[in-house]
Amino acid sequence: MRILNRYILSEYLKIFFFTLTALTLLFIVVDFFEKVEEFVKFKASIISIFKYLLFKVPLFIHFMVPMAILLATVICMGILSRHNEITAMKACGMGLHRITMPILTTAAVISFFVFLNSEYILPLTNRITNHTFRVDIKKQEERGIYQKNRMWYRSENGNIWNIDLFDAQAGTLIGVSIFKFHDGRLKERIDCGHAKWTGREWLFSGGWVRNFDEEGSFNSEYFENRVFPLPEKPADFMTVSVGPEEMGFQEIRNYIKKIKREGLDATRYIVDMHIKLSFPAIAFIMALIGIPFSIRTGRQGGFTVGVGLSVVIGFVIWFIFSMGVSLGHAGKLPPFISAWGANIIFTAGGIYFLTTSRQ
């Protein structure tokens, strides 16, 4: 039994890594040609382009693993079936579930590594990728940093913003401090709990204005609502803020708690938090679907047809998953259903077809 397990596992892994490499290289080429116009427009250096594509590889691998598992499962089972090896194993008393156990176990382990990749590697590489594209390629000046869950931004006129929370969708700032300088000296400081973008200007609510003289003394004035002449717009802060793709599961979970404490809508981030778990699980589901599918198509249409149809199935699963996520972000579906709905449907289908397949 161990010899057969090692044999099936080795064949499966060879096909999986070959397929994953081919799909990843394909997406690198596609991404390059999608961005080549901007590379030329901004006269990006070869080193910057290489760095951008290199650090985007973990993201491509992350998205390609489920399809690679589906293709590897269908191809591996198809090869074993074509060489009558599955028939020989059954003749030795091995059932279908026993034959496919190495594939399902491997898919589960790969799913776990996909989660680790999204938790520890992708947040870092996505930040590097975004910074490289924005600063090294598009030659935009880096005006801020996100550090210790707070955002620091330096405007063109020298003002420094310190922001506790930025909701780009609502155009809202929470916990804002603005430091205005003149000739290298702090001239004015604005602190407020809430600032809202009205479409033309920032409306600050519940804060203090402190004006400093040359000796360092200051006077304070409280305000309920006030508009200050500031050139910054919400789009300026988006270059500094950290998106869900740059956070791990625990980071985004803490961020959601922070948003809820301020009374803001956290629906989009709750959906993204569930995706951190539901997407890695798709890799295992692909194997669960691929096994009975390869057996049924092998009997009816042959190996080539099975591979072609598996690609179609992969895109169908991806479409339903993406549609659920979009509906969740829009608030049309509960976050859990939007992120896990496709998984539940195809897991049930995979288990049904696997248990009803002829042993």
The string of DSSP letters for 233-299 reads -HHHHHTTSPPGGGS-HHHHHHHHHHHHHTT---HHHHHHHHHHHHHHHHHHHHHHHHHHHHHHHHH
Query: CA angle, corner 286, sides to 284 and 291, nearest 5?
Result: 105
State whether 103 and 13 are in the same domain.
Answer: yes
Residue located via tokens 């155009």? 171
State whether 204 and 218 are in the same domain.
Answer: yes
State whether 25 and 108 are in the same domain.
Answer: yes
The yes-or-no verdict on residue 300 having pLDDT over 60 is no
Q: Are 321 and 338 in contact (CB under 8 A)?
A: no
State whether 62 and 183 are in the same domain.
Answer: no
**What pLDDT is attached to residue 58?**
97
The yes-or-no verdict on residue 109 having pLDDT over 80 is yes
Range of the structural domain that residue 220 is part of? 144-238
Last residue of a domain, one of 218, 238, 258: 238
Query: CA angle, corner 164, sides to 159 and 167, nearest 5?
Result: 100
Take residue 29 and report the two structure tokens written for it.
């080429």
In this predicted model, what pLDDT tens digit does every residue of 243-255 receive, in sequence order? 888 899 999 999 8
State whether 169 and 288 are in the same domain.
Answer: no
Take residue 261 and report the two structure tokens written for it.
């404490």
State whether 94 and 132 are in the same domain.
Answer: yes
State whether 87 and 171 are in the same domain.
Answer: no
Instruction: Work out the average pLDDT over 170-196.
Output: 91
Residue 255, in any domain of the structure: no
Residue 256, in any domain of the structure: no
Residue 171, in any domain of the structure: yes
State whether 290 and 346 are in the same domain.
Answer: yes
What total number of domains does the chain contain? 2
Helices 303-329 & 267-300 angle (0-180, nearest 10): 160
Share of the chain above pLDDT 70, in %: 95
CA–CA distances in Å: residue 35 to residues 29, 31, 136, 224, 286: 10, 6, 14, 47, 31
The yes-or-no verdict on residue 359 having pLDDT over 60 is no
State whether 177 and 213 are in the same domain.
Answer: yes
Instruction: Work out the average pLDDT over 88-110.
Output: 83
State whether 159 and 93 are in the same domain.
Answer: no
The yes-or-no verdict on residue 323 having pLDDT over 90 is yes
Residue 344, in any domain of the structure: yes
Residue 114, in any domain of the structure: yes
157 three-state secondary structure = coil
How far apart (Å, rounded) are the C-alpha atoms in residues 168 and 171?
5
More confident residue, 161 or 217: 161
State whether 124 and 149 are in the same domain.
Answer: no
In this predicted model, what pLDDT tens digit does every residue of 69-87 receive, in sequence order? 999 999 888 888 777 777 6
State whether 133 and 109 are in the same domain.
Answer: yes
Full-model pTM = 0.86
**What pLDDT is attached to residue 357?**
65
